[in-house]
Amino acid sequence: MPRDTGPLANERILRIRDIRVIDADGSQLGIMQSRQALDRAKEQGLDLVLVAPAANPPVAKIIDFGHFKYELRKKEKEGKRKQQEVKGIKISPRIAEHDIQFLLKNSRRFLEEGHKVKITCQFRAREVTHPEIGRAKLVRMAEHLSDLGVIDRPPSLDGKLMIMVMTPKPPKPTGSPKKSAETENKQDSVEEIQDNGNGKDNPTPDAQ
Per-residue pLDDT of 117-147, as tens digits, reads 999 999 998 898 999 999 999 999 999 999 9
pLDDT over 90, % of the chain: 53
pLDDT recorded at residue 208 = 41
Please tell me the distance from the alpha carbon of residue 173 to that of residue 164, in angstroms, as a whole number.
Answer: 27
22: nearest Cα among 73, 54, 66, 58: 58
Please tell me the distance from the alpha carbon of residue 122 to that of residue 162, in angstroms, as a whole number.
Answer: 7
Please tell me the distance from the alpha carbon of residue 21 to that of residue 28, in angstroms, as a whole number.
Answer: 6
pLDDT over 70, % of the chain: 76
- Indicate the helix (H) or strand (E) that contains 3: none
Q: Is the per-residue pLDDT at 162 higher than 60?
A: yes
Please tell me the distance from the alpha carbon of residue 136 to that of residue 142, in angstroms, as a whole number.
Answer: 10
Phi-psi region of 159 (alpha: psi -120 to 50; beta: other; left: phi over 0): left
**What would the mean pLDDT of 30-57 be, rounded to a whole number?**
92
* pLDDT tens track for 68-109: 888 888 887 776 665 668 899 999 999 999 999 999 999 999
pLDDT recorded at residue 121 = 95
Written as one string, the DSSP assignment of 45-88 is T-EEEEEETTSSS-EEEEE-HHHHHHHHHHHHHHHHHHT--EEE
